[in-house]
Structure 1
Amino acid sequence: MRTLPPPRVPGRYRIELVCLGNICRSPTAHVVLESHLADAGLDDRVEVTSSGTGGWHVGNPMDDRAAATLAAAGYDPTRHRARQYDDARPGAYDVVLVMDMANLADVGGRAERIGLFRDLDPVDPGAEVPDPYYGGADGFEEVLAMVERTSDAIVAALQPLLDDPQDRA
């Protein structure tokens, strides 16, 4: 998936971001993507949610190191609470973007509306977002850099999908 699929409902878009525990990568992507969508004026038309394929952390805030990395970069990580991916609901989203190949297998593999988050990464399309959980602070900063540039690309890809033809008249 090098482009986003069209919206199921014209003028609206629903994105689900998925990692393993929903405490590091997918919540980082969630917070950043929502911020970039707001900056682009698309936050009223795009809904972003995140979840993990495992249920170990359900209800917990994001990892302290991920939250600190986001806060240091000017983002607000405080609202996040981990939740588990509901594999009975993939049709509820316009696209499900996962962080790595194991997550991809857990949600049922590639499909028209399921792909890797970094499929849209302008630097390394199709690469995985590495899990920083067992490493140091530099891993969280590396993930943030990947997520920021990929979020920019996602916002750019959403723009034409959500343009109202009447606005162009």
Structure 2
Amino acid sequence: MKILMVCLGNICRSPLAEGILKSKVSSEYVQVDSAGTAGYHEGELPDKRSIAVAKKYGIDITDQRSRKFLVKDFENFDVIYAMDESNYDNIVALSRNKEEANKVKMILQELDSSQKLNVPDPYYGGELGFENVYQMLNEACEVIVSKINK
């Protein structure tokens, strides 16, 4: 199974989501990557605050580099998790058919499928925002792992 995590710039939320999920699954069976809907930070490391909060929980995300979401990602991934509604809408707008559009999900809908909850962008906030995002993503990734294992 191949899973792609997507946020806006691919330096805060999606690298954390990628790192968290990778830490919970076997890379032999599940491949995880991340991307951003905007290419602002292409080739850059994740935000130092994302690196720090991941490290706090024993996860190293310093091997990741920001990249832009590409239409060919629909072919390469089974599930594409958007961090918020804006990213969701941007990804779906790039889909070429219903099958591709159906691959896109809001990550927090894994916790509550009845509503479209956004993972807040912690970029302009402080350390606490990154901790909160980590906790949300960790919880969502636990549900994803339980579904994969079924």
The answer to whether the superposition gives a TM-score over 0.5 is yes
Aligned length: 144
- The structure whose Rg is larger is 1
Aligned 8 A contact 1:119 1:127 in 2 = yes
Paired position in structure 1 for 2:121: 131
Residue number among 62, 67, 74 corresponding to 2:51 in the alignment: 67
Change (3 A) 1:124 1:152: farther
Which AA in structure 1 matches 2:64? H
Structure 2 counterparts to residues 6-155 of structure 1, below 5 A: 13-37=1-25, 42-108=26-92, 111-121=101-111, 126-155=116-145
Structure 1 residue runs of 4+, over 4 Å off? Answer: 122-125
Aligned 8 A contact 1:121 1:146 in 2 = no
Q: Report the identity percentage.
A: 35
Cα drift, residue 92 of structure 1: 1.9
Which AA in structure 2 matches 1:108? V
Cα drift, residue 88 of structure 1: 3.6
Segments of 5+ residues of structure 2 without an aligned counterpart are: none
Indicate the larger mover: 120-129 or 138-147.
120-129
Cα drift, residue 124 of structure 1: 8.5
Q: Which has the higher helix share?
A: 2
Given the two structures, how large is their TM-score scaled by the length of structure 2? 0.90
How well do the aligned residues superpose, as a CA RMSD in angstroms?
1.8
Cα drift, residue 125 of structure 1: 6.0
Cα drift, residue 89 of structure 1: 3.0
- Please give the alpha-carbon distance, in whole angstroms, between the structure 1 residues aligned to 2:114 and 2:131: 17
- Please give the alpha-carbon distance, in whole angstroms, between the structure 2 residues aligned to 1:78 and 1:88: 25
Cα drift, residue 43 of structure 1: 2.4
Aligned 8 A contact 1:18 1:52 in 2 = yes
